[in-house]
Amino acid sequence: MISDEIFLAINKGCDFEDYTFGSPHNESKSCNDAIAEANSIVGQYVNNYDVILDVCYPSIVMQELRLRKYVTKISLGVDVCMSYERYFYFNLPEVQHALHANRTHLPYGWGMCSDVLNYTDKDGNINILPLLRRIVEHKIPLWIFSGDQDSVVPLLGSRTLVRELAHDMGLPVTVPYSTWFRKGQVGGWTTEYGNLLTFATVRGASHMVPFAQPDRALGLFRSFVLGQRLPNTTYPPIGD
């Protein structure tokens, strides 16, 4: 979605080894300027959590909700206005009454994120790789997966971190990077290290994998729970 020039400027100006979650990200001016330009090029009309989906227009959907109490805007099988529908639904008095919610009649509406709670950007800087390492060291299978249409936590970063973790732990590749299947279609790509550490992508999935690809998410979760590798073959062969 960005030009080669912007990509090269980010690579040259940014040192992501010491990147901080909160703005201005502990980076140089040239880095922050390049990132700002990249964000400007992508614009507001792309859903960062799923870059292939259409976007929802809040003013239009909220008007429809007030008039009809329902609206559906489908893009590639996904209701892209669900966040606004959810906000409208959970603020209906009859819904809150049925859920026994807001019994104290708070002076503000329900929202996904709250300005009342004291969130801190510092939590985003916590390095969880040592925790993941301890999990694997205790012989507990660990799977990390990414939707391949997510630009917020993109698969390239997650895949690199998993590979580096496996390298640091001396884990050999036990399943080379390859496709996995679900119901005769490619579910994504996967690789495994040391029979314990697995990285998988989910094809066509967003940041919230079950939201955009519920069946493929179910297949991935089922394999994990049953202690099975993701299926790497399907039937019948496509040439038959």
Band (72; pLDDT cuts 50, 70, 90): low
Look at residue 57 and tell me whether its pLDDT is greater than 90. Answer: no
Question: What confidence tens digit (pLDDT) does each residue in 199-232 have?
Answer: 999 999 999 999 899 999 999 999 999 999 999 9
Rounded mean pLDDT of the chain?
Answer: 89
Share of the chain above pLDDT 70, in %: 94
Look at residue 116 and tell me whether its pLDDT is greater than 80. Answer: no
pLDDT at residue 81 in the model: 82
Coil, strand or helix at 8: helix
CATH topology for 123-226 is Rossmann fold (3.40.50)
pLDDT at residue 186 in the model: 96
Q: Is 172 exposed, middle or buried (0-12, 13-18, 19+ CB in 10 A)?
A: exposed
Bigger pLDDT: 97 vs 60: 97
Question: What confidence tens digit (pLDDT) does each residue in 94-114 have?
Answer: 999 999 999 999 888 898 877
- The tokens describing 102, both together, are 């807001």
pLDDT at residue 240 in the model: 64
Band (8; pLDDT cuts 50, 70, 90): very high
Whether 85 contacts 71, CB under 8 Å = yes
**Helix extents (H) in 149-213:** 155-169, 209-212
* Sequence ranges of the domains in the chain: 4-42, 45-118, 123-226
pLDDT at residue 235 in the model: 82
Look at residue 187 and tell me whether its pLDDT is greater than 90. Answer: yes
Whether 70 contacts 88, CB under 8 Å = no
pLDDT at residue 84 in the model: 81
62-66, 85-89, 196-200, 220-224: least confident range: 62-66
pLDDT at residue 59 in the model: 76
